[in-house]
Amino acid sequence: MSGDTHLDFTAKSDGHGAPVTGNPAFNQIELRKIDKKRVEVREKKDGAVVATLRSRLSSDGNELAITTVSPARPDQITVWTRGGGAKVANDPLAGDWTQDLSKTRMRQGLVLKIQADGSGAVRFSGDYSYTARFDGKPYDVQNSRNDTVTLALVDPHTVEATFRRDDQVSQTDRWVVSADGEQMTLTSTATLETGQHLTEKLVFKKQ
């Protein structure tokens, strides 16, 4: 396993413990195969479980969703996309999208580009732009009436974006990607400077 850190271990998928060296967070791992597409990993430190990772492979074998469960911490979902060829994205939202005019009231021909930047963040560009991670921290937004955005990965196909203006929540977007990855629905709720509340629903299709 290589990334920000490098880790070497060998374990059988029978649930029995295997030693792990060179990692301060845990020194033993238990690997259990649930079925052909699901695996559970328990990380232990001196015999105590410090984290449980549940991995699920998509039906086409190109997407891996890992749910990490740790004591006293909220569950974390990480999504990985298999690389090779033109497949460079590591997030289900990555790709070029155009608005599906047959499924929305807004006929403005909006084009979105969402890309992984290789460091766990996504670059969003449309009528405004930003680069942000799914870590709950605020990131600056360019060319927008909003100041910052905070991203949260609800599940492997759902993202929530919370925008703030003058330290107040001004807009909440919920992005949902279809199971086949070809359609994305945006539900946006915003508060205008006049105090008026506005809710929009836009549907996009992948190009």
pLDDT tier for residue 88 given thresholds of 50, 70 and 90: very low
- N- to C-terminal Cα separation, the chain: 33
CB 13 within 8 A of CB 39: yes
Encoded tokens for 205: 């299709």
Euclidean distance between CA atoms 21 and 23, whole angstroms:
6
Residue spans in the chain of domains classed CATH 2.40.128.20: 95-206
CATH 2.40.128.20 given to domain 95-206: yes
pLDDT of 201 reads: 80
pLDDT tier for residue 130 given thresholds of 50, 70 and 90: very high
Encoded tokens for 69: 């469960």
Judge whether residue 161 has pLDDT over 70: yes
pLDDT tier for residue 160 given thresholds of 50, 70 and 90: very high
pLDDT of 94 reads: 52
Q: For the ranges 62-66, 150-154, 164-168, which has the lowest average pLDDT?
A: 62-66
28 Cβ partners below 8 Å, 6+ apart?
17, 18, 19, 20, 43, 44, 45, 47
The pairing of strands 168-177 and 158-165 is: antiparallel
Check residues 29 and 36 and name the one with the higher pLDDT: 29
Judge whether residue 136 has pLDDT over 50: yes
Q: How confident is the model over 100-118, as a mean pLDDT?
A: 59
CB 140 within 8 A of CB 130: yes
pLDDT of 164 reads: 92
Euclidean distance between CA atoms 110 and 173, whole angstroms:
16
Amino acid identity, position 56: R
Q: How confident is the model over 138-152, as a mean pLDDT?
A: 91
CB 136 within 8 A of CB 128: no
pLDDT tier for residue 92 given thresholds of 50, 70 and 90: very low
Euclidean distance between CA atoms 207 and 194, whole angstroms:
36
pLDDT tier for residue 44 given thresholds of 50, 70 and 90: very high
pLDDT of 134 reads: 87
